[in-house]
Amino acid sequence: MNRKSAPKITEAVNFTLNLKPYETLVLDNGVKVYAINEGPQDIIQIEIVFSAGNWFENKNGIAGATNFMLKNGTTQKTALQINEAFEYYGTFCSRHCYNETATLSLHTLTKYLHHLLPVMQELISDSVFPENELELFKQNSLQKLTVNLRNAEFVAGRLIDSYVYGENHPYGIYTRPDTLEQLTVEELKLFYNQYYLNGEAVLFVSGNLPEKIFELLNNNFGKLSLKPATFHYPAKVATPSIVKKYRIENDKTSVQGAIRLAQPFPNRHHPDFKKVMLLNCLFGGFFGSRLMSNIREDKGFTYGIYSYIQNHLQQSAWLISTEAGKDVCEATISEVYKEMKALTQKHVGKDELLLVKNYMMGTILGDLNGPFQIMGRWKNIILNQLDETYFYDSVKAIKETTAEELMELSKKYLSPEQFYELVVY
């Protein structure tokens, strides 16, 4: 190696990216397991995804509360004993509830898997939802909600979704103190019985997998009354607000406002989606974006401003999010619209476009570094009912989309009249 000469630099857009394929296993009950056997370290991640998000609840708050309380007691163990069962092995068991799905996840050393899978199985098949644990959950949730409702960013995030999708849509509805207070053990048990004990599920397993991984999974989950995931969600019609502009005073003592701009947007199945991801990155998707360069670096109105496409399975939305001083909130919005207009009137320069493309390719490359990240890519593809061509078509869109195409997409989607406009002070 000649250390007097700098190594040749290869642009990231010239990289060839490959998504490592998964293996498919099927448990005795028909539930599918997607597995990635990768990585030098003896660690493993198991994630069970249930069709049990708030899309399926008939009363606000039930899905989230049911998911949270999976770890709060079975007929054999108290909440403390369940947590001790995981902590004894230095492992981490988490649960999360989303719009369409809910998850139960385990991160552990591979050698401890046979000790911990029975505990996970117990949470799915034998949760009892003790009354005292529900009361504690409600008390903590109410306290946290009370604090969050004083935060302009939190309030803005809730309100903008309700404007874009409607207050009764799963994406637009939000938890209120009264809905938390009214939750009952009986309601949680009914939801649990339908969507966990007898619900639809799919498993994602990644890391350094033991030789008998299928036997372990099948012995613990293959005998449950779970059904294979169909990814079918009851139709929900969005009812966007007629009013487009909102100014909300949440705290009279506040010195800044939370700004949200949003418009409804198609999901990943739309032919424009892949190229719009490139346009979004250029517009406001990374630290060197147009919005950041103008509103943070040049004007100094904010510490950070970003745009993004919401990661939803059904409908979606294109959002711009920032916080700015009260006296410059309106000016900030005006600058956002100026950047939209600029993208519709002038082609993106060659160097700027190459910078954005290299950034996006580098981000994907980083996301393929390790089994958990690779499985994260596959999970997103599978839950959105897509296949591997989506990944390669997305890479192709980054590499081949032209400045002319970006201008046409800007004219189609970046019109200020299409955006809901919200400032919460």
Joined together, the tokens standing for residue 8 give 């040749």
Sign of the CA dihedral with 387 first, then 391, 396, and 401 last: positive
Give the chain's length. Answer: 425
**pLDDT given at position 396:** 97
**pLDDT given at position 343:** 98
3-state secondary structure of 49: strand
The percentage of residues in the chain with a pLDDT greater than 70, rounded to a whole number, is 100
Query: Which whole number is the average pLDDT over 96-111?
Result: 96
Q: What is the pLDDT of residues 386-419, one digit of tens each?
A: 999 999 999 999 999 999 999 999 999 999 999 9
Question: Would the pLDDT of 369 be above 90?
Answer: no
Cβ atoms within 10 Å, residue 319: 23
**pLDDT given at position 160:** 98
Q: What is the pTM of this model?
A: 0.92
**pLDDT given at position 18:** 93
**Residue with tokens 């998000």, as numbered in its chain:** 53
Q: What is the pLDDT of residues 127-169, one digit of tens each?
A: 999 999 999 999 999 999 999 999 999 999 999 999 999 999 9
Start-end of H helices in 168-250:
177-181, 185-192, 213-221
Check: CB of residue 419 under 8 Å from CB of residue 244: yes
Cβ atoms within 10 Å, residue 146: 10
Band (pLDDT 50/70/90 cuts) for residue 7 is confident
**pLDDT given at position 8:** 83
Start-end of H helices in 230-383:
273-280, 290-291, 329-345, 350-367, 371-383
Question: Would the pLDDT of 1 be above 80?
Answer: no
Q: Are strands 92-97 and 227-228 parallel, antiparallel or unpaired?
A: unpaired
Domains of the chain: 23-228 (3.30.830.10), 245-424 (3.30.830.10)
**pLDDT given at position 9:** 82
The torsion angles phi and psi of 318, rounded to 5 degrees, stand at -100, 120
The percentage of residues in the chain with a pLDDT greater than 90, rounded to a whole number, is 92
Question: Would the pLDDT of 40 be above 90?
Answer: no
pLDDT, greater one: 2 or 223: 223
**Residue with tokens 């207070």, as numbered in its chain:** 181
Burial (CB count <10 Å: 0-12, 13-18, 19+), residue 419: buried
Q: What is the pLDDT of residues 296-317, one digit of tens each?
A: 999 999 999 999 999 999 999 9
**pLDDT given at position 39:** 85
The torsion angles phi and psi of 119, rounded to 5 degrees, stand at -70, -45
Strand partners, 213: none
Closest by Cα among 263, 266, 44 to 161: 263
Band (pLDDT 50/70/90 cuts) for residue 325 is very high
